[in-house]
Amino acid sequence: MLLTWGTKSATSTSCAPETAVCCWQSADNLYKQPKSEINVIHDLSLLSCELCAQTFDNLADYNSHKLKEHQPKRSYGNPHFTTVTLMANIVNITATFTLKGPVKIPEKAEYKHYMTKKSGNIVRFPGAIYKNFGHTFILYKSGKVICVGGRKLDILESICKKVAKIVIGHSRIYDFEIKNFVGCLSLPNFLDLNSTAELIKRQNVRIAYDPELFAALLIYTENCLVLLFHTGKVIFTGVREIQNIEKSWEFVSNHLIWK
């Protein structure tokens, strides 16, 4: 999907279900009021510029290259701006599912203990922590399972079925549901969080910013929680659907103040 904001038209092309595209069009001064397009990816080895075939090791270098070497230019014969594509990636997927049958906790699973606030007693956490296939699973005797640490949506359910076969002897799982995506985007310039916070507050959007307590500006959009760091790092959390990233980015990207 390719959307163009701030213009009269929008075009749409096909994309993978786990890909979110957000447009951020260029302005006359790119760093005063930048706008761009972001793609959410899962594999950082795919960071290659489609315009010059240069490869990159991290998102920050890729995004900086795209904005500095391939800056979108305004076409004065056309009322619209051209766009530049930046990259974001999914760093965590949380899912839940249910197992039906006697649950056998694997020997490699661990139990954690914690201290209660009121009594100060040491209590064992009811779920067993089981790590396998590059994911972490919290197993409960009731059959409920929480999976965290996933990065690729297309293989997540198959990995959960493999764990089910280890725990209950067969690969049937029930009520599989994605609970949360966490996305990360690295911008190539520093942000003025104080000015950005004031600008977003005027839009009657809930924010929280106290640099003495936490370094990030928290923006509570309708679709997810967005964390902005002055270094240009952006984190999207509380995302139930990939499309919610682009909806939140549409609002946030139009209210960024750069240093």
pLDDT tens string 230-244: 998 999 999 988 888
Give the CB-side neighbour count of residue 259, counting CA atoms within 13 A: 12
Q: Report the helix count and the strand count for the chain, using DSSP H and E.
A: 4, 12
Question: pLDDT value at position 15?
Answer: 36
The tokens describing 200, both together, are 């977003």
Contacts of 204 (CB under 8 A, 6+ apart): none
Region 160-178: what's the mean pLDDT? Answer: 93
Question: pLDDT value at position 235?
Answer: 95
Top-confidence residue, 12 or 148: 148
Is-contact 40 165, C-beta < 8 A? no
- Checking if the pLDDT of 223 tops 50, the result is yes
Question: pLDDT value at position 40?
Answer: 62
Instruction: Show the CA angle centred on residue 253, arms to residues 249 and 255, nearest 5°.
Output: 125
Rounded to an integer, what distance in angstroms lies between the CA atom of residue 197 and that of residue 213? 16
Domains of the chain listed by start with CATH number: 21-91+181-253 (3.30.310.10), 100-172 (no CATH)
Rounded to an integer, what distance in angstroms lies between the CA atom of residue 58 and that of residue 38? 15
Which has the minimum average pLDDT: 10-14, 89-93, 218-222?
A: 10-14
Q: Specify burial of residue 230 (Cβ count, 10 A radius: 0-12, 13-18, 19+).
A: middle
The tokens describing 174, both together, are 């029930």
- The model scores a pTM over 0.75: no
- Checking if the pLDDT of 195 tops 70, the result is yes
The tokens describing 38, both together, are 């972001």
Buried-exposed string 147-183: b where 16+ CB fall within 10 A, e elsewhere? bbebbebeebeebbeebbeebbeeeebeeeebeebbb
Question: pLDDT value at position 207?
Answer: 95
- Checking if the pLDDT of 27 tops 50, the result is no
Q: Look up residue 156 and give its amino acid.
A: L
